[in-house]
Amino acid sequence: MDNRVQQVIKKLEHLPADRLSEVEDFIDFLSQREREHHMRKDFARGAEASFHKVWDNDEDAAYDKL
């Protein structure tokens, strides 16, 4: 197990039970935020193919240099 994980576990062992639920909520929040971040990146990657024709055209090539 990673040394940092072991350090966090040791710190958790010294917290009162009511604080452990707060820590668990925060971990859930961070996990959700990470999932949403990956989902946004996946959607953006998926949209690139659809917008490629619109973004990459000779008519708007002058704007590429800005």
Query: What is the tens place of the pLDDT at every residue in 2-57?
Result: 999 999 999 999 999 999 999 999 999 999 999 999 999 999 888 888 887 777 77
Instruction: Report the predicted TM-score, pTM, of the whole model to 2 decimal places.
Output: 0.61
Answer yes or no: is 33 within a domain.
Answer: yes
Answer yes or no: is 52 within a domain.
Answer: yes
Answer yes or no: is 50 within a domain.
Answer: yes
Our count of domains for the chain comes to: 1
Answer yes or no: is 55 within a domain.
Answer: yes
Answer yes or no: is 7 within a domain.
Answer: no
Answer yes or no: is 59 within a domain.
Answer: yes
DSSP secondary structure string, 3-66? HHHHHHHHHHHTS-HHHHHHHHHHHHHHHHHHHHHHHHHHHHHHHHHHHHHHHS-GGGHHHHT-
